[in-house]
Amino acid sequence: MSVITISREFGSVGDDFGERIAQALGYHCVCKEEIVTLLSQYGMVEFAREYETRPGFWEGFNSLRDQRRSAMVAMLNQVVQAVAQHGNVVIQGRSGFAVLTDYADVLHVRLQAPLAVRIERVAAEQKMTAEQAAAVVKEGDRVRTAFVENFYGVPWDAIHAFDLVIDTGKISPELAMPWVVDAAKALALSPATGKPSTRSIEVDSVLAKAISEVLRCTAAHS
């Protein structure tokens, strides 16, 4: 049993990368939609909108906004940890690598590519001009950087935070996927020493039940 977190630079790889890894391992893939569903059950219905919006909410300071975003991040951390405790999951994005940095049975994967490559991919995928795609990619980078660095104190480009870093500008996703699968299988057989397992995470019974139900529904519709 192990957990994989996948951190991606915007446009470095398609959204189906984590899903294909999960399918190969027989794991659940937990993406934005599942996290948003779980947070919504706890009243955090605005999380998806706020997470994707850099100006206004995540930047600047006032007491009311600080309380709101601190509560959102605390609940996000709790959900990510609870998902990891469930086991056999691929967590795509949502700062999973920062939340689960201290656990022995978690494989942290970073996917990146040169800016020009990412712009070209986004332009092709979303049928945009190069100028439009450049604006989208750069804004996506800024949002992720602001969130991770402000709330977890980890530089977005900190290579030491990851176990496996892959440049998809040189290594295709098709070639990278078997690497991730093999690394996860090896970690499941021989977790790192000196750190606790995600199985040791204490999870509220109500949240644990909600996660099981969401993952069951996701599996039924996949």
Q: For 131-141, write each residue's pLDDT tens digit.
A: 999 999 998 88
157, part of any domain: yes
222, part of any domain: no
- pLDDT category at 1 given cuts 50, 70, 90 is low
Is residue 52 classed as helix, strand or coil in its secondary structure? coil
Condensed to tens digits (0 to 9), the pLDDT of residues 199-217 reads 999 998 888 888 998 888 8
163, part of any domain: yes
- For residue 92, the 8-state DSSP code is E
pTM of the model: 0.86
221, part of any domain: no
pLDDT of residue 61: 43
Condensed to tens digits (0 to 9), the pLDDT of residues 116-156 reads 999 999 999 999 999 999 999 998 888 888 888 888 888 88
Q: Which residue has the tokens 């999951």?
A: 89
d(CA 221, CA 127): 28
156, part of any domain: yes
CATH number of the domain enclosing 60: 3.40.50.300
Which has more confidence, 76 or 219? Answer: 76
127, part of any domain: yes
126, part of any domain: yes
Tokens describing residue 209: 């039940």
Asked whether the beta carbons of 25 and 184 are under 8 A apart, the reply is yes
Asked whether the beta carbons of 76 and 17 are under 8 A apart, the reply is no
Domain count across the chain: 1
Cα-flanking dihedrals φ and ψ of residue 120, to 5°?
-60, -40
**Residue 79, domain extent:** 3-216
182, part of any domain: yes
Condensed to tens digits (0 to 9), the pLDDT of residues 100-117 reads 998 999 999 999 999 999
